[in-house]
């Protein structure tokens, strides 16, 4: 949880660093090259290649944790839907997560909820990106 907070803080400050490589770029290239559970350095600090949702899912597989992450994922997906950027499969993944939790498969439920939450966050990010870049493919 600590880690997520630092990431969020760094992201918020990112523009002032005016770094050659943005945090996003550094994260993505390290993730692509080394996969999960790798540590990389960016602007003199260490970061994990795990997505914030993977960090959230890496908790004890208990009913409470599973239901908690499902609730967070649902809220995030609602946010994406409100912006009109909900992805096609997310609702189904959330249902599967709930089913897994009901069946006592808490590890599976956590992983599915993490995936749904990731989809939702990406949809929200897409919306933000679209606000300033949608015009790029308009013929002039």
Number of Cβ atoms within 10 Å of the Cβ of 110: 27
- Work out how close the CB of 137 gets to other proteins at its nearest, in angstroms, rounded to a whole number: 5
Q: What is the token pair recorded at 109?
A: 């439920």
> 3-state DSSP call for residue 39?
strand
Binding to other proteins by residue 134, rule CB under 8 A? yes
Q: Look up tokens 């990389």; give the residue.
A: 40
Distance of alpha carbon 130 from alpha carbon 1, whole angstroms: 29
Supply the minimum distance, in Å, between the C-beta of residue 130 and other proteins. Answer: 4
| 119 contributes a contact to other proteins by CB under 8 A | yes
The helix/strand/coil state of 47 is: strand
Least gap, CB of 105 to other proteins (angstroms): 25
Site string for other proteins, 78-107 (x = CB under 8 A): ---x--xxxxxxxx----------------
Minimum distance of other proteins from residue 104's CB (angstroms): 29
Alpha-carbon distance 75 to 53, whole Å? Answer: 14
Binding residues vs other proteins (CB under 8 A): 81, 84-91, 119, 122-123, 126, 129-130, 134-140
């Amino acid at each position: 949880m600590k880690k997520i907070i630092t990431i969020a803080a760094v992201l918020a400050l990112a523009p002032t660093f005016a770094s050659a490589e943005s945090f996003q770029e550094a994260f993505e290239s390290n993730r692509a090259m080394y996969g999960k559970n790798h540590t990389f350095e960016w602007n003199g600090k260490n970061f994990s290649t795990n997505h914030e949702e993977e960090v959230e899912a890496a908790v004890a597989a208990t009913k409470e944790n599973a239901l908690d992450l499902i609730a967070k994922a649902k809220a995030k997906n609602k946010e994406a839907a409100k912006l009109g950027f909900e992805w096609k499969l997310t609702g189904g993944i959330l249902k599967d997560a709930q089913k897994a939790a009901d069946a006592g498969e808490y590890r599976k439920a956590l992983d599915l909820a993490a995936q749904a939450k990731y989809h939702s966050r990406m949809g929200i990010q897409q919306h933000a990106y679209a606000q300033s870049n949608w015009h790029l493919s308009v013929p002039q």
